[in-house]
Chain A
Amino acid sequence: MTVVARGLRWGGRGIRGGGSRVRRRGVGILTAIRAVMVKELRGRMRGRRAFVVLTVYLVLLGLFSFGVYQLVKQNALNAATINFGQPIPMDRGEGFVGGGFPGGSGTGQVGLSATIGHALFSGLILLETLLVLVLAPAFTTGAISLEREKQTLELLVTTPLSTLGMVIGKLFSALVYVFLLILASIPFVSIVFPFGGVGPEDLVRAYVVLFALAFGMGALGLMVSAIVRRTQTATVLTFVLVLLLTLGSAGVHAFWLAGSRAPATLSANGQQLQPAKAGEAPEALLWFNAFVSAADLICTTAPTGYDPTCQYLSTVTRKPYFGPTFGQGFGECPPNARCGFEQGIQICGADECKAVPLPAGVNRGVDLPAPAPATHAPAPATEGGGGAVVAEDGSQPFPGNGGVALPPVAADVAPEQPVQVATFGYPRDTFWPSSTLAFLVAGILLTILSAQLVAPTRRLRLPRIQLRRRQVAFGAGVGAAERVEPIAIDGVSAKSNDQPTTESPA
């Protein structure tokens, strides 16, 4: 220690020997995050590559949105032609081409505008979900294994850099680029606003989901990268996991649902004694399926109040997601019946269900911000729906709109209380907050786990065990120049491979 006190200096070289002071602590997490991020981003953003990728991405996104727009417009025009026998005049003052939200209500072209907006939004959200699902793990899956392969990890581990900070720095620097791609798409996605049907708050929700997804998936790639030695294997394994989380979870959920479904009990003459019971599968199974979250967002913005995604979501969450169809009113379940939704049909179960019919005159529309998605009559979806912005007369008994600006937590609770159901219409937004939270929690856990896996000397260990191990004076009898056969030690080592704690002093 006297050597330390002497403070070895860089004689005459101008470097003060402050570094030779023995500081007991490692380098803090924030310093570590910053150090690694600066290093990573310097590498990633150097040259034109990053910007070329960004440009190409935006061009593709633009082409995609234009394609969706054309497709939906054509479909809608065709549908309108079939339904009404005449094409919709495109050049009317309040038409959708001129942009702006048309003022008329109940006319076909109004719904068309919102439909296009919704379709654009749906397409872009799905595309971006897919993009994040692929890119976020792709950027992180080499983060640690590449350092191992290039033999740079050892250099890092011998510094007092906090491994957690290092891992977070790696994750963030990869995510920064993904976030940049996401944010760069905002101008494109904003194209949906003039069409109506989608509000800024819907967009904000979508981005919250995407960010959480990027974080969770990035952390997944990171952890695989920390476990697996080779980058190639890590990449394959990561994408297998991503596939399992999306396609796999949806498949398992569907099978579970089918398996738990109880068919209707019929009497001998075909009379229904017990109604069919909807299948039940845990919603949590799909929390890590980013596409279900996207579907929730898409359902929320559906201009007709009904969308195939809503149907799926109501099956998943077992909560009513859209207005009653096929004449089965919400209040029609017998007392002491449990309500469930399946395939868009309300199913009445055996338990109690305090179904409260919506009081007439309830108008939730006025609570919404100005460019709110249209609310609609509970007409069947096939009609294309009416396109009123806000039902001014309040005569629509079942405003099936999902633009309810409920905070995530409240949205979780709301459907449990029938009174609220009645007051605010059918609450949507019940799935994505859980999913987002799940991604965030999983991301944090995976990040901490990866920090543990970076290096064997960087794991959290119990200090007591280490103290006990010190007394194993092994080399005591081993002289300098004498030749000792390794077998002498083998006897001990053979039984205690990687668990030196269990060994007895030789």
Chain B
Amino acid sequence: MTAVLEVQGLVKRYGSTVAVGGIDLTVEAGEIFGLVGPNGAGKTTTLKMLATLLVPSSGDATIAGASIRRDPDAVRRVIGYMPDSFGVYDDMRVWEYLDFFARCYGLPAARRRQMIGDLLDLVDLSEKRDAMVQALSRGMQQRLCLAHALVHDPLVLLLDEPASGLDPRARVELRELLRELRALGKTIVISSHILPELEELCTAVAIIDRGKVLASGRVADIERRLRQGAVMRVRVVGDDGASETAAAFYRQQPEVASVERLPDGLLELGMRGDDETAAGLLARTIAAGHRVAAFGRAASDLEELFLQVTAPDPWPAVTDTVETMAHSAVEG
């Protein structure tokens, strides 16, 4: 794999405020790379610098071999950028919107016509070809904006919070669309403040907070690196007594740091160790005669990891579970 996007020590300051304080990233070709971080972490600023909208205070980045500082025009040719909040022109039809941006890239007329049809097919807006842009729904505008970023067939797509403000269905459609684009060979850099949203989609993520990369790599790798444990949810079939027995059983297990009883036969275990340990624990649970209906990671797991990593103070007590997790992480 070749690195399409390389960021070296990118810094952006506004007066004495540091928006981005030295970011290093490498994105391989064909990846869907997620930039995750809370609001104000510097994701948008980073993407804007990559999109040649802002001049970095220091540091540099190369996209497809072109430096964003020295050769911004070459960078502009290989990137498609979709901003966080974007406007649409009034008084413009959908096809005219795409036609205008195709003209901006200097595409010849014949190719423009064909490309507009293809792109509208891709983003599923063919029926809206002659509709006025401002009459489209938010999700459609989002897709149109994505289409605008594709008119020149870019190598790299920089998408800033593309899913914000979309309903669940539109989110799923967007995810499908991005997968399709990846299949077409695009490298996609996507930002979000919701880590789970990116988990399924991204091949790699970087967690950013206060202008720093806190962790980067595959989501699973980051998880493994940042903590030696997980929150498992176990559901035991039976009455209160059954779950009480199960809880007692888990308290005796060495890899279980904490046990919490939730209503409806649910148990939440703070656990040390990796998947291997979890498998062993499950085997022993069943061997001990507990009737397990469900055994798995807590759904909010990733979110908690995110909160934990990007917390304002080191190891805050966001929830009890996180506190438990923090202790287990420190101990581990």
Contact = CB atoms under 8 A, between A and B. Distances in A.
Interface of A: 1-4, 6, 8-11, 13-20, 22-28, 31-32, 34-35, 38-39, 42-44, 46, 149-152, 154-161, 455-457, 463, 466-467, 469-470, 472-476, 478, 480-481, 483-484, 486, 489-490, 493-494, 497-498, 500, 503
Contacts of B60: 470
B74 A158 contact: no
Given A39-B96, A46-B91, A497-B15, 17 more contacts: A2-B2, A3-B29, A18-B111, A20-B154, A32-B104, A39-B92, A152-B89, A155-B101, A158-B52, A159-B76, A467-B70, A473-B9, A474-B11, A478-B21, A478-B22, A480-B215, A484-B21
Contacts of B152: 19, 159
B196 interface: no
Interface centre among B23, B79, B152 (most CB of A within 10 A): B152
A210 B134 CA distance: 36
**Top 7 A-B residue pairs of the complex, sorted by shortest distance between their CB atoms:** A475-B22, A475-B9, A35-B103, A150-B87, A43-B91, A474-B9, A19-B153
Contact of B186 (A8, A469, A473): A8
Given A152-B88, A160-B76, A475-B8, A490 B18 contact: yes
A156 B29 CA distance: 26
A221 B154 CA distance: 35
Interface stretch (B114-122, B162-170, B279-287, B320-328): B114-122
A46 B96 CA distance: 12
Interface in B63-108: 64-67, 69-74, 76-79, 81, 83, 85-92, 96, 100-101, 103-107
A154 B52 CA distance: 10
Interface residues of B, number: 86
A480 B206 CA distance: 9
B13 interface: yes
A472 B59 contact: yes
B153 A8 contact: yes
A62 to B, nearest CB: 30
Given A3-B29, A31-B106, A470-B60, A26 B76 contact: yes
A158 B51 contact: yes
B104 A156 contact: yes
Contacts of B74: 22-24
Interface in B148-196: 148, 151-155, 183-187
Contacts of B69: 466, 469-470
Contact of A457 (B9, B52, B148): B52
A161 B9 contact: no
A38 B103 contact: yes
Contact of A39 (B10, B70, B89): B89
Contact of A493 (B57, B81, B145, B213): B57
A8 B101 contact: no
A28 B106 contact: yes
B212 interface: yes
A24 B15 CA distance: 33
A493 B154 contact: no
Contacts of A503: 57-58
A154 B70 contact: no
A16 B77 CA distance: 15
Contacts of A480: 213-216
Nearest to B107: A19
B310 to A, nearest CB: 10
Contact of A150 (B81, B89, B105): B89
8 contacts: A1-B64, A15-B115, A27-B104, A39-B92, A152-B87, A156-B104, A489-B11, A489-B22
